[in-house]
């Protein structure tokens, strides 16, 4: 009787059913893990110290993302190496959607050309999409005897080697903007790197530097503690409508700051998780209150999906590769 069961159709049916059940038991947890995402707090790594544009942007976005996803979003500031430390931490994290990165153009399009980075800028991450473009302001000390960009250039030529500018670090947006100004106008001015934008503000207020090109200048200009010469972008700053762009002043001094920040996760993150993050991000950036709050910290909401954002980064890499050669920051 036993032998006939094990060789008969009833046994084969039982074996098939048990096999399908076993396969199902292995596949269901993986699917349900993505479907139930998120079920606990999410860490959002910011590769800059607190107090600067990147940190302010991350906190505003995280506050809205917390509501959209229904779980706490914990900001983790991991500055170092002009974004390379924080970026590498996320690149090594588990690809489950619980560790997010505030991606910067600096980390993915500039740093790889000037130093070895501890992450793969092309294959090491998946991109949810773009978050915002940058609206940096050329901000100078109140007692610097200039009132526009033309007067600044004339002063720098008259007193070579005396003017200094600060930035959030080597290869940061502010550093590159200053180097472009130097190169285009053949100026002899000194760069002073800091650990972040907040330190740059402090240095300007203490008269340790003469100017910087950074979005945090908005706070100083609106409070009357410093002067704005230009908004270093292709459009005027919504919060400073009377401040011209370099092009309006007769200077071709702009950077591809559109899509400067994005949202990234470790490569291999499940598609279902990516889709949830993308949907929430697109909805957040479409909110009028989000756009208004972003303007107040000198950034402009800019949504593109992950594929489009990755293509923008690829184009920016080509741009920066040539730029870095021109300003002698890279031999590659």
Q: Residue 275 corresponds to which tokens in the numbers above?
A: 């889709």
In a domain, 53, yes or no: yes
Q: Whole domain around residue 85: which residue ranges?
A: 42-134+257-326
Give the pTM: 0.83
Identify the CATH number of the domain in which residue 156 sits. 3.40.190.10
In a domain, 23, yes or no: no
Q: Where is the domain boundary, 223, 249, 275?
A: 249
Identify the CATH number of the domain in which residue 95 sits. 3.40.190.150
Q: For residue 26, what pLDDT is reported? A: 47
Note whether 232 and 146 are same-domain residues: yes
Note whether 270 and 122 are same-domain residues: yes
Q: For residue 3, what pLDDT is reported? A: 44
Note whether 207 and 279 are same-domain residues: no
Helices (H), the chain: 2-7, 9-35, 53-69, 84-91, 105, 111-114, 149-158, 173-185, 197-205, 217-222, 271-286, 288-296, 306-326
Note whether 244 and 159 are same-domain residues: yes
Question: Looking at the 3D structure of the chain, how many domains does it have?
Answer: 2
Distances (CA, A) of 67 to 73, 280, 284, 297: 9, 10, 10, 21
Query: How confident is the prediction along the chain (332 residues), in pLDDT tens digits per residue?
Result: 434 444 454 444 444 444 444 444 444 454 556 789 999 999 999 999 998 889 999 999 999 999 999 999 999 999 999 899 999 999 999 999 999 999 999 999 999 999 999 999 999 999 999 999 999 999 999 999 999 999 999 999 999 999 999 999 888 889 999 999 999 999 999 999 998 899 999 999 999 999 999 999 999 999 999 999 999 988 999 999 999 999 999 998 867 666 789 999 999 999 999 999 999 999 999 999 999 999 999 999 999 999 999 999 998 898 888 888 888 787 55
Q: Where is the domain boundary, 249, 273, 293?
A: 249
Note whether 210 and 191 are same-domain residues: yes
In a domain, 51, yes or no: yes
In a domain, 8, yes or no: no
């Amino acid at each position: 009787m036993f032998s006939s069961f094990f060789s008969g159709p009833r046994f084969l049916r039982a074996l098939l059913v048990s096999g399908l059940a076993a396969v199902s038991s292995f596949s269901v947890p993986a699917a349900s893990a993505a479907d139930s995402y998120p079920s606990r707090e999410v860490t959002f790594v910011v590769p800059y110290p607190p107090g600067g544009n990147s940190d302010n942007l991350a906190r505003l976005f995280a506050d809205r993302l917390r509501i959209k996803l229904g779980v706490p979003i914990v900001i983790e500031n991991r500055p170092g190496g002009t974004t390379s430390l924080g970026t590498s931490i996320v690149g090594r994290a588990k690809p489950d959607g619980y560790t997010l990165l505030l991606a910067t153009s600096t980390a993915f399009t500039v740093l790889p050309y000037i130093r070895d980075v501890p992450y793969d800028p092309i294959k090491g991450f998946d991109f949810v999409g773009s978050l915002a473009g940058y609206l940096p302001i050329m901000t100078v000390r109140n007692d610097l005897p200039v009132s526009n960009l033309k007067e600044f250039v004339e002063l720098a030529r008259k007193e070579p080697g005396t003017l200094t500018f600060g930035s959030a670090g080597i290869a940061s947006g502010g550093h590159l903007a200053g180097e472009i100004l130097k190169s285009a106008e053949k100026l002899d001015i000194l760069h002073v790197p800091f650990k972040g934008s907040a330190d740059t503000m402090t240095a300007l207020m203490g008269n340790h530097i003469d100017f910087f090109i950074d979005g945090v200048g908005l706070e100083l200009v609106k409070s009357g503690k410093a002067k704005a010469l230009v908004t270093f972008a292709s459009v005027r700053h919504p919060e400073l409508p009377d401040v011209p762009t370099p092009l309006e002043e007769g200077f071709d001094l702009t950077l591809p700051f559109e899509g400067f920040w994005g949202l990234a996760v470790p490569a291999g993150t499940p598609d279902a998780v990516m889709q949830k993050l993308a949907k929430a991000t697109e909805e957040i950036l479409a909110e009028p209150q989000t756009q208004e709050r972003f303007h107040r910290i000198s950034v402009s909401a800019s949504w593109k999906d992950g594929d489009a954002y990755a293509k923008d980064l690829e184009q920016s890499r080509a741009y920066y590769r040539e730029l870095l050669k021109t300003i002698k920051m890279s031999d590659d």
